Amino acid sequence: MKLSILDQSVAIADKCQDQVINDTLNLSTIAEELGYSRFWISEHHNHPTIIGTAPEILMAAIAAKTNKIRIGSAGIMLPHYSPFKVAEQFRVLNSLAPNRIDLGLGRAPGSDGRTALALNSNNREFSENFPSHVRDLIAWVTNGDLLEGHPFGRLKAQPISDTSPEIWMLGTSNYGSQLAAYLGIPYCYAYFITEGQGISESIKNYKENFKPSKFLNKPKVNVCLWALASDDDEKAEYLFSSRAYWKIARNYGELDTLKTPKDALSKLNENNWMSEFKNMISSSIVGSSETVKNKINSIKDDNDFDELTILTWCHDEKERINSYKIFSELIN
């Protein structure tokens, strides 16, 4: 099973945000050394925690630092942009790293409503036209033809070459899985967003409705999990407290940078949230290599997918890298 990484450039307490972006860049080279198949980066806007705002720019920097790992957006939130402009950006990226570029597409704003309007005043209209915009984008980015009579039918996204990015649909519901199936492109289910609720239905819906295309002759499913591995269960749970506190606090309307485990545990105690923390541990993919292996195998047994992508948050960058090392040894 192919193993990949999703990185969100998470803001760390007391760390310069410039360094966070450079940590993402550094992790991409480590991922290549560890044998990961893909390195994907997310897109969020006006977010105090997730500060990766321009995946297409960071992808170019990663392309210059790596040689073989696939590089992708997970994803480009298409309602913010002109499909033609996105196609041009990814044609350029494809020239920089032929046969290594993935274009993951999503409909979610990756931001709040006000920010979405600031990015594109026609955001609501673009959201409603998402399927047709995806169709046009696919044609442009693969140097294909638009529908007959299309008003922009003569436009070509350049540079033109013999290779094209691999296009993925990202989602957490039947909407994205149905569209991916109809278009005959790969589908990635964001398990980390839903805690797995709806995964079986989405994958089943995608596979049952899949139409072979010039891009793909059979369904291809990737599942993205939030997971953290360490030397033993106790240490992993200690490191996980940073993410757990952030997530619980978010549910109460607080968004902030990722705190140290020490500060997070103190805050969890102070707010009487320890029981919620313990519940999160039991339902999360956190622990030693053996523990996380068993939890991942359980998910795989219940859901048939082809690729696995790991997303890990950790206050200590060295511990985050160690977690990815453990996962690379576990799967490869």
pLDDT tens for each residue of 92-110: 999 999 999 999 999 987 7
Residue 251 belongs to some domain of the structure: no
What is the distance, to the nearest Å, from the Cα of residue 107 to the centroid of all Cα atoms in its chain?
A: 13
Residue 221 belongs to some domain of the structure: yes
Residue 294 belongs to some domain of the structure: yes
Report the domain count for the chain: 1
Beta strand 221-229 pairing with 166-171: unpaired
Residue 254 belongs to some domain of the structure: no
Which residues in 61-89 are b (16+ Cβ under 10 Å) and which e? Answer: ebbeebeebbbbbbbbbbbbbebbebbbb
* Residue span of the structural domain in which 191 resides: 2-232+288-331
Residue 261 belongs to some domain of the structure: no
Residue 300: CATH number of its domain: 3.20.20.30
pLDDT of residue 9: 98
Residue 42 belongs to some domain of the structure: yes
Instruction: State the 10-residue block means of pLDDT for the chain, 332 residues long.
Output: 96 97 98 98 96 96 98 95 97 98 90 90 92 97 94 96 97 94 98 94 97 96 98 98 97 95 98 96 96 95 95 98 96 66
Residue 77 belongs to some domain of the structure: yes
Residue 83 belongs to some domain of the structure: yes
Q: How many CB atoms lie within 10 A of CB 148?
A: 6
| Contact indicator for 289, 329 with CB cutoff of 8 Å | yes
What distance in Å separates the CA atoms of residue 167 and residue 148, rounded to the nearest whole number? 22
pLDDT of residue 109: 76
What distance in Å separates the CA atoms of residue 45 and residue 53, rounded to the nearest whole number? 5
pLDDT of residue 332: 60
pTM of the predicted protein model = 0.96
* SS3 assignment for the chain: CEEEEEECCECECCCCHHHHHHHHHHHHHHHHHHCCCEEEECCCCCCCCECCCCHHHHHHHHHHHCCCCEEEEEEEEHHHCCHHHHHHHHHHHHHHCCCCEEEEEECCCCCCHHHHHHHCCCHHHHHHCHHHHHHHHHHHHCCCCCCCCCCCCCCCCCCCCCCCCEEEEEECCHHHHHHHHHHCCCEEEEHHHHCCCCHHHHHHHHHHHCCCCCCCCCCCEEEEEEEEECCCHHHHHHHHHHHHHHHHHHHCCCCCCECCHHHHHHHHHHCCCHHHHHHHHHHCEEECHHHHHHHHHHHHHHCCCCEEEEECCCCCHHHHHHHHHHHHHHHC
